[in-house]
Amino acid sequence: MTKKGTVFERVRNLASAALLVAGIAGLAAPDAQAQYYRRHRTQPRRVYVNPYSHYPGYTTNNLYARAQQQGYSDGYARGRYDRSIGQRTPRPQGHGAFQYGLNGWTRELGSTGIYREYYRQSFVRGYQDGFYGRR
């Protein structure tokens, strides 16, 4: 009888230990998950503060103006260069700056797709003005 009792006790102790480990693991997982969310979700978001925002007429999200200004000046310079080396036909799309289309872009400006679109439009306009000697 002592052997049966010891086997039964061992099984019971093993089952109790398994339930205890499962319970601890079940309690620890939500706690670890909660710690992760507390640590990563409650950090303050970085807010970009534009140093020029106190000037009148300056907006913090000047994506369009910046893209047009940068694109035109880059295109104008490359158009003048192509004219100076004697290129016969204007080809603004062949320049790396036109293909890349992100010169002057910063993260604070926002969407790269919109910036590229306005940059390339202005690049072509500036390139033609530079190539044909207009200003």
Is 121 a domain residue?
Answer: yes
> 75, 126 in Cβ contact below 8 A?
yes
Q: Band the pLDDT of 6: cuts 50, 70, 90.
A: confident
* Nearest CA among 52, 69, 60 for reference residue 108: 60
Q: Is residue 114 part of a domain?
A: yes
Pair 88, 117 in one domain: yes
pTM above 0.85, yes or no: no
- Measured between alpha carbons, how far is 66 from 115 in angstroms, rounded to an integer? 8
Whether residue 38 lies inside any domain: the answer is yes
Instruction: Specify the pLDDT at position 61.
Output: 55
Instruction: Verify that 67 and 124 share a domain, yes or no.
Output: yes
Same domain flag for 71 and 125: yes
What residue numbers bound the domain in which 114 lies? 63-131
Measured between alpha carbons, how far is 42 from 80 in angstroms, rounded to an integer? 53
Amino acid at 22: A
Please give the residue that has the higher pLDDT: either 106 or 3: 106
Does the residue 52 lie in any domain?
Answer: no
Q: How many domains does one find in the chain?
A: 2
53 belongs to a structural domain: no
Q: What is the DSSP letter of 133?
A: T
| pLDDT grade for 58, boundaries at 50, 70 and 90 | very low
Domain assignment present for 54: no
The answer to whether 116 and 65 are in contact (CB under 8 A) is: no
- Whether 67 and 118 map to the same domain: the answer is yes
The reply to whether 127 falls in a domain is: yes
pLDDT on residue 106: 86
